[in-house]
Amino acid sequence: MNGRTVLEARIVTGEGGGPDKTILNTPRFMSPRGYPSICLYLRPPGDPGFHAIEEKAAHWDAPLEPLDDSGPLDFGVLRRAREVCDRHCPAIWHGHDYKTNFLGLLLARKRPMALVTTLHGWVKHTWKTPFYYALDRRCIRRYAAVIAVSDDLLQSARECGVPPDRCFLVPNAIDCDEFRRTLTINEAKARRGFRPEGFLIGAAGRLSPEKGFDLLIDAVAGLNAEGLAVHLQIAGEGDDRASLERLIRERHLNDRVTLLGFQSDLSLFYQSLDGFVLSSIREGLPNVVLEAMAFEVPILATRVAGAPSVIHDDETGLLVEPGSSASLDGGLRRLLQDGALRARLATTARGLVASKFGFAQRMDRMKEIYDLTLAREGRS
Write out pLDDT tens, residues 169-179.
999 999 999 99
In this predicted structure, the answer to whether residue 297 has a pLDDT above a threshold of 60 is yes
Is the predicted pLDDT of residue 126 greater than 80, yes or no?
no
Q: What are the backbone dihedrals phi and psi of residue 92, each rounded to the nearest 5 degrees, phi first? A: -135, 130
Q: What is the DSSP letter of 71?
A: -
Q: How many CB atoms lie within 10 A of CB 165?
A: 9
Q: In CATH, which of 3.40.50.2000, 3.40.960.10, 2.50.20.10, 3.30.300.30 is domain 6-173+358-376?
A: 3.40.50.2000
Mean pLDDT score of the chain, rounded to an integer? 93
Average pLDDT over residues 343-372: 96
Domain locations in the chain as residue ranges: 6-173+358-376, 185-356
DSSP string, 259-317: EEE--S--HHHHHT-SEEEE--SS-S--HHHHHHHHTT--EEEE--TTHHHH--BTTTB
3 burial level (CB within 10 Å; 0-12, 13-18, 19+) = exposed
**Across 125-129, 147-151, 288-292, least confident range:** 125-129
Lowest-confidence segment of 11-25, 128-142, 346-360 by average pLDDT: 128-142
Instruction: Give residue 313's pLDDT.
Output: 96
Phi/psi for 354 (5° steps) reads: -65, -35
Instruction: Tell me what pLDDT residue 1 has.
Output: 47
The pLDDT, as a whole number, for residue 252 is 96
In this predicted model, which residue has the larger pLDDT, 331 or 305?
A: 331
Q: What is the pLDDT of residues 89-99, one digit of tens each?
A: 999 999 999 99
What does the angle CA 94 – CA 358 – CA 303 come to, to the nearest 5 degrees? Answer: 85
Per residue in 253-296, pLDDT tens? Answer: 999 999 999 998 999 999 999 999 999 998 777 889 999 999 99
Provide the H-helix boundaries in 149-264: 151-159, 185-191, 213-225, 241-250
Q: What are residue 341's phi and psi, to 5 degrees?
A: -60, -45
> What would the DSSP string read from start to end of 322-339?
TT-HHHHHHHHHHHHH-H
**Packing angle, helices 18-30 and 359-376, rounded to 10:** 70
- The helix (run of H) or strand (run of E) holding residue 147 is strand 145-148
**Short-list 270, 271, 274, 248, CA closest to 259:** 248
Q: Would you say the CATH fold of 185-356 matches that of 6-173+358-376? A: yes
Confidence of residue 129 (pLDDT cuts 50, 70, 90): low
Query: What is the SS3 assignment for 60?
Result: coil
Q: What is the pTM of this model?
A: 0.85
If phi > 0 it is left, if psi is from -120 to 50 it is alpha, else beta; for residue 296 that is: left
Q: Who wins on pLDDT, 124 or 349?
A: 349
Architecture of domain 185-356: 3-Layer(aba) Sandwich (3.40)
The Cα–Cα gap between 23 and 1 comes to: 20
